[in-house]
Structure 1
Amino acid sequence: MSTRNYLRPPWAARVIGGRMARLVKPKVVSLLSVPGRTTGAWRSTPVAVLDHGGAEYLLAAYGDTEWSRNLRASKSGRLTRRGRVEQFTAVEVGPSELQALMEAYLGQFGKLPNVAKTFETLPDPADHPAFRITVTGSERA
């Protein structure tokens, strides 16, 4: 696998943005929880789930993030969205699919703060890990 880059989000996006986004855009922003690859402790971060071609994807807009590394190791996690906690399995997509997923992500979420700028800074699709997710169970949050 090639070396992927990571772009640290601005302070406001890290500290305020994710929390506010879930309140302001609850239909767009979900809470991803993934077990840490070293400790196994659950780590959570806000994400936008991409619906593309009849499947759902998680794409790491900021590059090779901690959540993407943890998901790569665990191959499963939880999404809290629309008042439900959904268990899912994940498969990392191959390089040939990344360009189309990146374009679809920009089409759906490019107007959210920092998204378009992030892809301008990291234009190589190989820098953005993406995972096809399959929900395996669901319960009320």
Structure 2
Amino acid sequence: MTAAHVIRPDWLTRRVINPAVAWLARHGIAVAGSRELAVRGRKSGEWRRTPVNPLAYRGERYLVAPRGHVQWTHNMRAAGGGELHKGGHVERFTASELRDDEKPEILRAYLKKWSWEVGAFFKGLSAKSTDAELLAAAHKYPVFRITALPPADEGAYRSSTSEG
């Protein structure tokens, strides 16, 4: 079995860029639609936060992990959902991971919208890549379809993810 694809952030990203984007999102300012993702840690149960770029595509919404199989993706699989924060607005959602064969058109749309920010993580790929090229790399990039929870269902999500 091969090791999971992970691109670790450098010092500048980890200490300056991600905290700045997250701070802006917490204060209601979205950088090109970014949000702060909050998801329960699979081991600690504590909320973990990171900036993300949600993608709206053909009436659905997605979270793509351009850095690969990073901690938030493992936590998302375990938790089955999370929260997107922008200012005082919190959107709770459930998440289901896409199979690799479902990813090419989502990856293409993501690259079309966000390549200026995340293109370096998709070595050799672009929005103009063929389906075959995107499918060959799909295993490297987790993609989650997210579904907002209506206010009546938020309590069910909270209780399923709460400690105790």
TM-score normalised by the shorter chain: which range applies? 0.7 to 0.9
Larger Rg: 2
| Residue 106 (structure 2) aligns with | 101
Inter-CA distance 121–3: structure 2 relative to 1 (3 Å threshold): farther
Are 2:57 and 1:52 aligned?
A: yes
Q: Tell me: higher relative CO, structure 1 or 2? Use CA pairs within 8 A at least 6 residues apart.
A: 1
More strand by share: 1
- Give how far 1:17 is off: 1.1
Deviation at 1:9, TM superposition (A): 1.6
Unaligned runs of 5+ in 2: 126-133, 155-164
Q: How many residues align?
A: 137
What fraction of aligned residue pairs are identical, expressed as a percent? 35
- Kept in 2, the 8 Å contact 1:98–1:126? The answer is no
Specify the code of the residue in structure 1 equivalent to 2:9: P
Q: Which has the higher helix share?
A: 2
**For residues 37 and 96 of structure 1, do their structure 2 counterparts lie closer, same or farther at Cα, with a shift above 3 Å needed?**
same
**1:59-102: per-residue Cα shift (whole Å, max 9, x none)?**
11100010000000110111102641011000001111212111
Q: Per-residue displacement from partner, 1:15-38 (whole Å, max 9, x unpaired)?
A: 111222343744521000000111
Q: TM-score, normalised by structure 2?
A: 0.75
Show structure 1 runs of 5+ residues with no match: none
Cα pair 2:30 2:86 within 8 Å, conserved:
no
Q: Does structure 1 retain, via aligned residues, the 8 Å contact 2:97–2:142? A: yes
**1:34-53 to 2 correspondences below 5 Å:** 34-53=39-58
